[in-house]
C-alpha cells in the first residue's frame, strides 16, 4: 500500500512539474492583423529556436489598442503608434516599449498603368491633386486610414481631395478597387499593396509627407513568464529577423 501511495505521489509530482514547465514555456501575443503574414513566420522562428509556445491573437490596428486600453493586454502586446490610452491603463510596462519595425505609407496603381512620381513632397502633392480618383481605408475603421488622413493634412490638401477620395473598410477593398480600374490611385500601408496581382506598388511616400509608424511591443505587468515574454520581444526586434520584415515590405527597426 505504501509503495502504491508513493507511486501516486511521484506520478502526481511529475505531472505537476511537467505542467508548470509547459506553462513557463508559453506566452500570449497580441498583434495587429496587417502584419500577420510576417508575424506568423517570426513566431514560428522563435518557437523553433527556443522550444517555447506562443499563443497568437490578432485584431485590427484600432482594436488591438482598444484591447490593451481596456485592461486586456496579453503577455506581449504589439501595437501601431500612437497608443496613449493603452499606456494610461497601467497593465503594460511603459519601460518595456520596444520598436520592432515600422510601417510606411505607399501608393499603388492598376497593373501596367503609368507610375506617378512620389519622390518628393511636391511630387506627391501634384500626383494626388492630378489623380482622377483615390481610394483608402476609412480612418474610422482602421489605423491605416488615420495615417493616410494625417499625410493629406500634412500636405494641406485634405479638403481639395474630398470630392474624389473614396474611403473603404479594408485593405482588400482598396486593392480590388484599383485592380478593377474603379479607382486610379490607392493610398495605404506599403505592405498591404503587394498581395493583389492586379496592382503595382509604386513605393513609399517620403518621410516628410508621412511619418513612418512605429510598430511597438510591450510586456504586460501580469505576464506569467516574463523571461520568455522578454525573449520574444527581443527576438521580434533583432537583426536576425530583419529579412522577414523586408520580405513583407515592412521596415526593420534595426
Residue pLDDT, tens place only, 111-129: 999 999 999 999 999 999 9
- The three-class DSSP label of residue 241 is helix
Do 83 and 94 touch, CB atoms closer than 8 A?
no
Of 179, 177, 173, 182, nearest in space to 197 by CA: 179
Superfamily holding 27-102+214-252: Periplasmic binding protein-like II (3.40.190.10)
- The 10s digit of each residue's pLDDT in 76-111 is 999 998 888 888 888 899 999 999 999 999 999 999
Instruction: Supply the pLDDT for residue 196.
Output: 86
How far separated are the first and last CA of the chain, in Å rounded? 63
The beta strands (E) that lie in 50-133 are given as: 53-59, 76-80, 98-103, 105-110
Q: Counting runs of H as helices and runs of E as strands, what totals does the chain give?
A: 10, 11
Does the pLDDT of residue 43 top 90, yes or no? Answer: yes
Q: Which of 9-18, 62-71, 157-166, 170-179 has the lowest mean pLDDT?
A: 9-18
Instruction: Supply the pLDDT for residue 183.
Output: 96
- In sequence order, what are the residues at sequence separation of 6 or more whose Cβ sits closer than 8 angstroms to the Cβ of residue 52? 25, 26, 27, 46, 228, 231, 232
Instruction: Supply the pLDDT for residue 118.
Output: 96
Higher pLDDT pick, 8 / 237: 237
Give residue for cell 513583407. 248
- The 10s digit of each residue's pLDDT in 45-60 is 999 999 999 999 999 8
Does the pLDDT of residue 182 top 50, yes or no? Answer: yes
How far is 48 from 122, CA to CA, in rounded Å?
Answer: 47
Phi, psi of 38 (to 5 degrees): -70, -40
Does the pLDDT of residue 18 top 60, yes or no? Answer: no
Instruction: Supply the pLDDT for residue 204.
Output: 93
pLDDT tier for residue 6 given thresholds of 50, 70 and 90? very low
- The 10s digit of each residue's pLDDT in 191-219 is 755 678 999 999 999 999 998 999 999 99
How much is the pTM? 0.81
Higher pLDDT pick, 50 / 9: 50
Instruction: Supply the pLDDT for residue 61.
Output: 83
Give the dihedral of Cα atoms 75, 77, 83, 87; nearest 10 deg: 10
Does the pLDDT of residue 5 top 80, yes or no? Answer: no
Instruction: Supply the pLDDT for residue 12.
Output: 40
Could you give the residue range(s) of every CATH 3.40.190.10 domain in the chain? 27-102+214-252, 105-204
Do 206 and 124 touch, CB atoms closer than 8 A?
yes
pLDDT tier for residue 144 given thresholds of 50, 70 and 90? confident
Q: Domain 105-204, what fold? A: D-Maltodextrin-Binding Protein; domain 2 (3.40.190)
Of 202, 169, 205, 170, nearest in space to 184 by CA: 202
Instruction: Supply the pLDDT for residue 2.
Output: 44
Highest mean pLDDT among 38-42, 86-90, 246-250: 38-42
pLDDT tier for residue 31 given thresholds of 50, 70 and 90? very high
Amino acid at each position: 500500500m505504501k509503495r502504491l501511495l508513493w507511486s501516486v505521489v511521484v506520478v502526481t509530482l511529475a505531472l505537476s512539474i511537467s505542467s508548470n514547465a509547459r506553462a513557463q514555456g508559453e506566452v500570449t501575443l497580441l498583434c495587429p492583423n496587417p502584419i500577420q503574414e510576417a508575424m506568423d513566420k517570426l513566431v514560428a522562428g522563435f518557437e523553433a529556436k527556443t522550444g517555447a509556445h506562443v499563443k497568437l491573437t490578432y485584431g485590427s490596428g484600432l482594436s488591438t489598442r482598444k484591447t490593451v486600453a481596456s485592461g486586456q493586454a496579453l503577455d506581449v502586446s504589439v501595437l501601431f503608434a500612437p497608443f496613449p490610452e493603452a499606456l494610461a491603463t497601467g497593465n503594460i510596462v511603459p519601460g518595456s516599449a520596444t520598436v520592432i519595425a515600422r510601417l510606411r505609407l505607399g501608393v499603388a496603381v492598376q497593373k501596367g498603368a503609368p507610375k506617378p512620381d512620389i519622390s518628393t513632397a511636391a511630387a506627391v502633392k501634384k500626383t494626388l491633386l492630378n489623380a482622377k480618383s483615390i481610394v483608402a481605408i476609412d480612418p474610422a475603421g482602421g489605423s491605416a486610414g488615420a495615417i493616410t488622413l494625417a499625410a493629406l493634412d500634412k500636405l494641406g490638401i485634405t479638403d481639395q481631395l474630398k470630392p474624389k477620395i473614396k474611403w473603404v473598410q479594408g485593405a482588400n477593398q482598396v486593392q480590388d478597387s484599383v485592380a478593377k480600374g474603379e479607382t486610379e490611385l490607392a493610398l495605404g500601408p506599403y505592405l498591404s499593396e503587394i498581395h493583389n496581382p492586379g496592382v503595382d506598388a509604386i513605393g513609399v511616400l517620403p518621410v516628410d509627407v508621412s511619418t513612418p509608424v512605429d510598430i511597438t511591443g510591450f510586456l504586460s505587468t501580469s505576464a506569467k513568464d516574463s523571461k520568455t515574454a522578454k525573449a520574444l520581444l527581443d527576438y521580434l526586434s533583432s537583426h536576425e529577423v530583419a529579412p522577414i520584415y523586408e520580405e513583407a515590405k515592412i521596415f526593420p527597426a534595426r
